[in-house]
Copies of this chain bind each other. A is one copy, B any other.
Amino acid sequence: MGWGDLGAFGEPSKETPNLDQMASEGMLFLDFYTANPLCSPSRAALLTGRLPVRNGFYTTNAHARNAYTPQDIVGGIPDSELLLPELLKKAGYINKIIGKWHLGHRPQFHPLKHGFDEWFGSPNCHFGPFDNRVLPNIPVYRDWEMIGRYYEDFKIDLKTGEANLTQIYLQEALDFISKQQASQQPFFLYWAIDATHAPVYASKHFLGTSQRGLYGDAVREIDDSIGKILKHLQKLGISENTFVFFTSDNGAALISAPKQGGSNGRFLCGKQTTFEGGMREPAIAWWPGHIPAGGVSHQLGNVMDLFTTSLSLAGLQPPSDRQIDGIDLLPAMLQGKLIDRPIFYYRGNEMMAVRVGLYKAHYWTWSNSWEEYSKGIDFCPGQNVSGVTTHTQEEHTNLPLLFHLGRDPGEKYPLSFASDEYQRAMEQISVVVQQHKVTMVPGEPQLNVCDKAVMNWSPPGCEKLGKCLKPPKSDPKKCFWPH
């Protein structure tokens, strides 16, 4: 989902009354970012509070590539990483993930081995249907074991776009919340639904209801679900005791537009890129009685802040034995403070850009390669900013491209290199970048090796269901990451 997909963020159909109301009862973050313009690294960053280049969710197979966790990935979240639910446990929290895990699907990466107490959902994207010979269908887990596979036991009709998944995930959420409230135990719910990822789906009740087509139907179903979750908290009388944050893992995938792709508003390009359209996210914080209603914040925020903020809410400190990139947003949310901090835009192992205040400096520009572009893969459809949305990897380290995101949120007008404004801003930014680079200790890259043998052939629990498949011979290779 993209920055521009909600009514509160200016989507012209304005079909998200529940999220818009959540914003009017809570706080809208207008300058909130993901740590990476792709799903897996973004989620790894959220749960570890650390940049993917630190927690290992990147590749060194080629320069500045986005990588994630498809079925044949060998790596996953390292044991050495401390995940938010692991830490929350110490404060007595019960932790549940509903939806897509995406931090590795091999046994050692299982979410219940990394702090979660419960899981309902899938380890990978809901791509398919597959033939279970060359590729297995993606399993759906309940806790330790699979209970079925997408397209087999969990239907997704690609023709009509009908699938009940968001409803199932919603019910899981409501049930978990009820259970926790009944047992009076504090809880952390990570509601990481698949929608609106392509192939886009919605349940029957929502199909055909949006001006925006199937993608809009999916957005409306999510909006409705969030409304139901918030109302559920209120009905149980725990809304003033429950912090809720809504955001997305990367910008809208314009490559899937217009039928399956969302909107990044007026921001440049989309998912996969380090332009604003790829990394600025819709974000709403909600905590009635604590966060002032109708608040608007220009705090530079990041999904990694949810790690640190959540720890703070639970009365815990972030780990002190490692670099944590997330900051505690409570002062921004409760006292309206603005905390000075940069935003780093990474693509794989490369710091492509940095934002300091309203200035954004690009050290590298790249949308995708000419080769990919010529195949019709376009992350910036209808947009072309000369020298900015480049199809070769362009280094600007000696003279970064600088944009003022207040006057020019669309990254269309680089500042003149000769201007005083450029000089002043770059002096400040250079210090930030140097500091960042000097202290950077990259983690072991987890997304380098792929092997068809590690795919979801025989997940735990497959025997009971008669759904075990025979893996091919192991043949580990360097993964190919074209973008």
Contacts and interface: CB of A to CB of B under 8 A. Distances in A.
Nearest to A14: B296
A211 B404 CA distance: 9
A113 interface: no
Interface in A9-25: 9-14, 24
Contacts of A24: 24
A298 to B, nearest CB: 8
Interface stretch (A83-91, A96-104, A191-199, A259-267): A259-267
Interface in A244-273: 257-259, 263-268
Contacts of A12: 30-31, 265-267, 405, 409
A358 interface: yes
Contacts of A215: 407
Give the one of A24, A28, A216, A382 with max B CB within 10 A: A382
A14 B24 CA distance: 14
A382 B412 contact: yes
Interface residues of A, number: 44
Contacts of A407: 211-213, 215-216, 258-259
Give the one of A14, A24, A381 with max B CB within 10 A: A14
A383 interface: yes
Give the one of A258, A264, A413 with max B CB within 10 A: A258
Give the one of A266, A383, A408 with max B CB within 10 A: A266
A284 B212 CA distance: 23
A10 B13 contact: no
A404 B258 contact: yes
Interface majority SS (helix, strand, loop, mixed), chain A: loop
A59 to B, nearest CB: 30
A384 interface: yes
A30 B12 CA distance: 6
A382 B358 CA distance: 20
A166 B383 CA distance: 35
Nearest to A21: B294
Contact of A358 (B28, B211, B265, B405): B211
Contacts of A404: 213, 258
9 contacts: A4-B265, A14-B30, A24-B24, A212-B406, A257-B408, A258-B404, A381-B412, A383-B383, A384-B384
Interface of A: 4, 7, 9-14, 24, 28, 30-31, 210-213, 215-216, 257-259, 263-268, 296, 298, 358, 381-385, 404-410, 412-413
Given A4-B10, A4-B265, A381-B413, 6 more contacts: A12-B30, A210-B406, A259-B407, A264-B266, A382-B383, A382-B412
